[in-house]
Structure 1
Amino acid sequence: MTDTPGALLGPAEIRELAGRLGVRPTKTLGQNFVHDGGTVRKIVRAAGVRPGQRVVEVGPGLGSLTLGLLEAGASVVAVEIDPVLAGQITETVRAHVPDADFEVVLADALDVRTLPGEPPTALVANLPYNVAVPVLLTFLERFDSLERVLVMVQAEVADRLAAEPGSKVYGVPSVKAAWYADARRSLNVSRTVFWPVPNVDSALVALERRDPPATTATRQQVFAVVDAAFAQRRKTLRAALSGLFGSGAAAEEALRAAGVDPALRGERLGITEFARIAEQLPAPAVQPGGPAGTVEA
């Protein structure tokens, strides 16, 4: 491996490092390593990382993006589930950026509830594609210090996260992300910058934190309504929400009280409308669930 301070990892270094560690990228962990320094720097610039900013990275892998963040002067805490990679990345950082402010946490990102050091204000990551949406929603829920997010995900997932009501790809991820932030699709990322080359296209999605809708309903209640509304997309809201409200008639009454047409489908509503519907739920109807609820892949 090239240990030139300041250098980012290239294709040869990625393969040499992986070979030395005996790492074989797996679909199970959603591992595809970025080996193009130009792409890494584009991601860091798109994220608007500031010197000294505390950034959390999920799934740093061999450290390609990590080094780019540190090159920009960020203070980085990385969450890595693979013990071999977690053990190596500190050495890689020391070799390339000896004075870096860097920590690694060996954990499943979905289990992380606290992070060492100052609370992060940004999440910048090449997320494992098989758990990208649950990880994103979990971090937005658990770390309210996060002001900005820039994550690389499967292109279709980026489209869903940034979709507006009425879009064909608008669904559960779109609505739940909107509870926390404004989302927009950013740059496309070529398959050729990854090793191994994935079978899907990739894209960046940027999210800016904002306050959730003003509502008397809890997040869990709102997300329960969202899940029910999209469980069977072809159903009208009157039919889709009948289980939550006890009957179709009760669902229709609740929808009208919320100012929503019972004949509409969930894909037509924004997060504010879902919150108004959740305010009509009978108190014992919903039990608090996990931070992300059920999401579409």
Structure 2
Amino acid sequence: MVTQHLLGPAEIRELAARLGVRPTKKLGQNFVHDPNTVRRIVAAAGLDADDVAVEVGPGLGSLTLGLLAAARHVHAVEIDPVLAGALAETAGHPDSLTVHRADALRISTADLTPPPTALVANLPYNVAVPVVLHLLAELPSLRHGLVMVQKEVADRLVAGPGSKVYGIPSLKLAWYASSRSAGKVPPAVFWPVPNVDSGLVAFTRRDPPRADVNRDRVFAVVDAAFAQRRKTLRAALAGWAGSPDRAAAALVAAGVDPGARGESLTIGQFADIAAGVPVPAGAGE
């Protein structure tokens, strides 16, 4: 861990001007320029001195500097070559920082040494959910994390059964981890200022609800259940199961009413449903 001076609004703009960086909507770049917000994120992440953090989209480095002061090591994954090239200098070239010029959706456990234990990131709005799910799938060493995403996305990620915004992101995150809202972040702390609020989502990894069912198979049931959200599960899962009757049989075997809808079920119930339909011969898992 190293002690770091955090970047304020003037320093963020000066650094961007020196690098010739203009934030782009395509990459979802909104840079945090408020030191108090950085401190709040780092504190909410609950890092300890042994944690190895992975940060996606570090941008100009405002959150990176906060993480370096709290974690044993920081992996910063940045797709923009200019930003990736400047980050180590901004941080003062500490040994505890490894910068990866890479697409986070292509990162695997072999790319990150030492293995990360925490994901802490201000995620680009357009890839937030895929990045979180990909990293939880690819990095088994991740134990916990805190991500800042669009408030609407944050609400979906932490929603529970019965909520109007409960759906595929909620369920797939629940396969890997328990999650909770860790607060709201106003637009004014970013440059450029987005036209939406942001939300903090904290998560803690846990064992999947069932060890005997392939994750992709469970996710296929979830996808089918929400492809036509208003349909009953008997109808929505007919294609997946092979027929409405087979879907109904799998639902009854799992203790689920065939007339129920996907938004009323937990990830554990979806795993039970997935376990109830035999995999066709030759299909594999």
> Equivalent residue for 2:252?
256
Aligned with residue 102 of structure 2, among 84, 104, 107: 107
TM-score by length of 2: 0.95
Deviations 1:86-136 (A, max 9, x none): 000011011xxx545101001100011133321111000001110000000
Find the partner of 2:27 among 15, 20, 29: 29
Q: What displacement does 1:21 show? A: 1.2
1:184 and 2:180 equivalent?
Answer: yes
Correspondence for 2:264 among 264, 268, 292: 268
Answering whether residue 208 of structure 2 is matched by residue 212 of structure 1, we say: yes
What is the deviation of 1:285? 8.7
Q: CA deviation at 1:19?
A: 1.2
Q: Which sections of structure 2, spanning at least 5 residues, go unmatched?
A: none
1:20 has 2:27 as partner: no
- Out of 127, 132, 136, the position equivalent to 1:136 is 132
**Aligned equivalents of 1:71, 1:163: Cα separation in 2:** 32
- Structure 2 counterpart of 1:176, which letter? K
For residue 146 of structure 1, what is the amino acid of its counterpart?
L
Residue 195 of structure 2 is aligned to residue 195 of structure 1:
no
Q: Which amino acid aligns with 1:102?
A: L
Distance (whole Å) between structure 1 residues aligned to residue 103 and residue 197 of structure 2 = 25
Which amino acid letter does the alignment assign opposite residue 184 of structure 2? N
In 2: Cα distance, 1:274 partner to 1:44 partner: 34
1:63 corresponds to which of 61, 69, 73: 61
1:249-279 residue CA offsets vs partner (Å, 9 max, x unmatched): 1111111111110000000000110000001
Indicate the residue corresponding to 2:145 in structure 1.
149
> How far off its partner does 1:284 sit?
3.0
Equivalent residue, structure 2, for 1:42? 40
243 and 258 in structure 1: CA distance in 2 versus 1, 3 angstrom threshold: same
**Are 1:220 and 1:288, in contact at CA under 8 Å, matched by a contact in 2?**
no
Question: 2: CA distance between counterparts of 1:279 and 1:149?
Answer: 30
Matched residue count: 282
- Take 2:118 and 2:277, find their aligned partners in 1: how far apart are those partners? 34
* 1:221–1:288 contact (8 Å) kept in structure 2: no
- Cα distance, 1:287 vs structure 2: 6.6
Which of 116, 121, 124 lines up with 2:120 in the alignment? 124
- CA deviation after TM superposition for structure 1 residue 281, in Å: 2.6
- Scaled by the length of structure 1, the TM-score of the pair is 0.91
Letter aligned with residue 85 of structure 2: G
The equivalent position to 2:158 in structure 1, one of 158, 162, 177, is: 162
2: CA distance, partners of 1:278 / 1:27: 39
Q: Which amino acid aligns with 1:59?
A: G
Q: Deviations over 1:69-93 (max 9, x none)?
A: 1122441011000000000001101
What CA distance in whole angstroms lies between the structure 1 residues aligned with 2:194 and 2:103?
22
- The residue type equivalent to 2:218 in the other structure is V
Q: 1:173 aligns with which of 169, 174, 182?
A: 169
Alpha-carbon contact 2:162-2:263 (below 8 Å) kept: yes
- Aligned-residue offset at 1:137: 0.3
Counterpart contact for 2:52–2:71, Cα < 8 Å: no
AA in 2 matched with 1:181? A
- Any conservation in 2 of the 1:163–1:169 contact (CA below 8 Å)? yes
- Partners of 1:40 and 1:65 within 8 A in 2: yes
CA distances 1:172-191 after superposition (whole Å, capped 9, x unpaired) = 00000000000101121111
Deviates more, 1:62-71 or 1:110-119: 110-119
**C-alpha separation between the residues in 1 aligned to 2:281 and 2:84?**
43
1:238 equivalent in alignment to 2:234: yes
